Amino acid sequence: MKRIGVVGFGRRIDHVLKNVTKLSDGRVTVVAYHDPSAKAAERVQAAYPGIRSCHSVEEVVTASDVDWVFIGSFNALHSGHAVAALDAGKDVFCEKPVATTREQCMDIVAARKRNPSKQFIVGFVLRYSVFYRTMKEWIEAGRLGQLISMEFNETLSPYHGASMHGNWRRKSEWSGPMIVEKCCHDMDLMLWMTGSQPARVASFGGLTFFKPENAHHNDMYPVGEEGYRYYDRGLATGYAVGDEENITPFNDDKDTIDNQVAIMELENGVHISFHFCMHSAQQERRFYMCGTKGTIRGNVLTGTLEYTPVGWDAKTETIRPIAGDDHGGAEEPMAQDVLDCMLRGAPTPTTLEDGLRASFTCFGIEEARETGAVINMHPYWVDLAKISQ
Ligand SMILES: NC(=O)c1ccc[n+]([C@@H]2O[C@H](COP(=O)([O-])OP(=O)(O)OC[C@H]3O[C@@H](n4cnc5c(N)ncnc54)[C@H](O)[C@@H]3O)[C@@H](O)[C@H]2O)c1
């Protein structure tokens, strides 16, 4: 039996825990939590009868009946919460991103070194999807040959983007740069698929749509069947249920952006472009990889994965390994792997090191956007190796 304490009990960690406890057959139970939001408390008490509400993070992580700490608080708080949990001798499941600044990465690595026997799982849920696992198998089987270049993207529906611009994610002090908050998943997948890391990056991006002068867009469409105005739907249907100050996405109360592009050259010579937009009427999360022996294209949101070999009369093989949903059918497989790690000590497929590399990649891209310069990533990787030693 493993007992879980939760720090930051919002929408996401609730979803993770429902799957973990459902699959656990009573071998895992949620015993305590800390969340400063009264709204979150009300929801948690109703959904987890008998759970103990704690007044502080410290109270959760030091509780003698807590074995694992699950962290689902705002991004910028993750490292502090993870350090507290590790130093209290607890194993950790931490939602992505593990850290939003280099200093937070250092803190978390130091705590990990002080507590080397503790487990640490990062919630990179997409890695557990059979969709991406099949893509990775195809690459490892040599179907691409040598990867030459690729593009990938993440484009959100307008009301998903709106929800993010109307909740805590609009402020970098809580969420970090938007590339870290939303795209650390994509960077992790790119690092995993290519087996390499960026040598140079450039990036442009900014806030183009979710601004006060575009508020009239919310009046341009009729109220939907669920009774919401178009741009209110995401917040109203709970993209971030713990947040108590959801506001109009067309606010001027933020320092974040809604679109960004990046180009990268990897250490292995592969050339890459990435596109992120928070306002798309055609959502995609697509990988398009061109190799010496074939090409792979896959959009996890439609669940369609295609492979075409190079050659005369080449036929495209199209499979649909998943039905297609936000996370590629990965929620239950992730819950099963988390359980295996918790109950049998099985190694996690998504480690702290994966989390740090994804964050560092995003930090480099953000530096490129902020400065307008092409960033040499070598010092980032030297730095990461140094703090990881
Ligand atoms: N892996 C994924 O696919 C995925 C999907 C969505 C969100 N997330 C991540 O999960 C985390 C939570 O996102 P969410 O969508 O559930 O947001 P949310 O707003 O629903 O939940 C965040 C919770 O943290 C709580 N919180 C704020 N300050 C706190 C503090 N000092 N101590 C403890 N709790 C505190 C809030 O009250 C809220 O209940 C974020 O880091 C986000 O990036 C991951």
pLDDT per residue as tens digits for the range 204-240: 999 999 999 999 999 999 988 888 888 987 776 655 5
Give the distance (Å) from ligand 1 centre to CA of residue 9.
7
Q: How far is CA 68 from CA 15, 64, 124, 246, in A?
A: 17, 11, 18, 30
Instruction: Please give the pLDDT value at position 262.
Output: 98
> Which domains occur in the chain, in start order?
2-118 (3.40.50.720), 127-326+359-383 (3.30.360.10)
Instruction: Please give the pLDDT value at position 286.
Output: 98
pLDDT at 263 over 70: yes
pLDDT at 241 over 70: no
What is the Cα–Cα distance from 31 to 66, expressed in whole angstroms? 7
Q: Is 247 exposed, middle or buried, given 0-12, 13-18 or 19+ CB atoms closer than 10 A? A: middle
Q: What percent of the chain has pLDDT above 90? A: 87
Instruction: Please give the pLDDT value at position 115.
Output: 97
What is the Cα–Cα distance from 172 to 277, expressed in whole angstroms? 17
The answer to whether the CB of 241 is under 6 A from ligand 1 is yes
Q: φ, ψ for residue 135 (rounded to 5)?
A: -60, -45
User: Which has the higher per-residue pLDDT, 151 or 244?
Assistant: 151
Task: Report pTM.
Answer: 0.96
Q: How far is CA 254 from CA 159, 188, 259, 282, 358, in A?
A: 17, 26, 14, 26, 24
Instruction: Please give the pLDDT value at position 225.
Output: 84
The answer to whether the CB of 234 is under 6 A from ligand 1 is no
Instruction: Please give the pLDDT value at position 325.
Output: 59
The answer to whether the CB of 240 is under 6 A from ligand 1 is yes
The answer to whether the CB of 295 is under 6 A from ligand 1 is no
The answer to whether the CB of 176 is under 6 A from ligand 1 is no
Q: Which residue puts its alpha carbon closest to atom 41 of ligand 1?
A: 75
Task: Encode pLDDT of 15-54 as tens digits.
Answer: 999 999 999 999 999 999 999 998 899 999 999 999 999 9
pLDDT at 298 over 60: yes
DSSP-derived pairing of the beta strands 28-34 and 120-122: unpaired
